Amino acid sequence: MPHGPKRTIRLTALLTVLLMAGACDAAKPAPPVTPSTPGPTASAPASGPSPDASPAVGPASADLRDTDWDDVPVLGDFCGIPGLVPLDHTGHAMATSRTWGPVRVTRTKDIVYGDTDGDRRDEAVVFVGCDDNGATQNADIAVAYAVYAGVGKDLVVLGSITPRQKSAHSHTALARVEFAPGRIIVHEKWYRADDARCCPSGDATTVWTREGDRLKPGAPRVTS
């Protein structure tokens, strides 16, 4: 058996071969995993109502003609009042308009019913107005039709229909409404320059289209 330096060289060569063979047989490491940005889980519900949802103002009766309108608020947007305005049993309320300051909101008892979406449940159109509560002895400074519908078990306010035809002075008056499939046709009375305050002589119609639970006005059409 060899001794000395030759034996040391052979052992070193043998160890080198064994190490190289082991390295070839070892499993290659898996590529690193890049963590992904965590997303919402399927079970996480969306928070808050849809921004396009119409506000619910109470439970809906099967027939809106059975509604106690004394308990139903109106949208104040037609008079520059944010949010809903609850009225008292006489159909009045004091509020603050962003446009006119302190105002009185009024709802009449004249309510028109008709079906626009073909579900055999009538919608309701309620006339509302606001004035300066006698500060200048003016009549209404803004008017609108508040439109309500039964959506499921909720009574919702679809929006406020406001006059679209411009007048030379005062505000254009709302005369009457008609219901048609998917539409509400609004008849307006507008003031010419030489009309007295009592008596607007112009006539116009605006077709409001119902898109889901929203109302969208078309361009007013002057008829006289």
pLDDT tens digits, 34-66:
333 333 333 333 333 334 568 899 999 999 999
Q: Residue 15's pLDDT is what?
A: 37
Query: Other CB atoms closer than 10 Å to residue 30's CB: what's the count?
Result: 6
* Helix (H) / strand (E) containing 96: strand 92-97
Task: Please give the model's pTM, rounded to 2 decimal places.
Answer: 0.74
Mean pLDDT computed over 189-203? 95
Tell me: the pLDDT tens digits for 124-165?
999 999 998 877 666 789 999 999 999 999 999 999 999 999
Q: Are 57 and 72 in contact (CB under 8 A)?
A: yes
**107 Cα distance to chain centroid:** 23
DSSP state of 5: H
When pLDDT is cut at 50, 70 and 90, the band that residue 180 belongs to is very high
pLDDT tens for each residue of 13-28: 433 433 344 443 443 4
DSSP state of 184: E
Average pLDDT over residues 75-88: 96
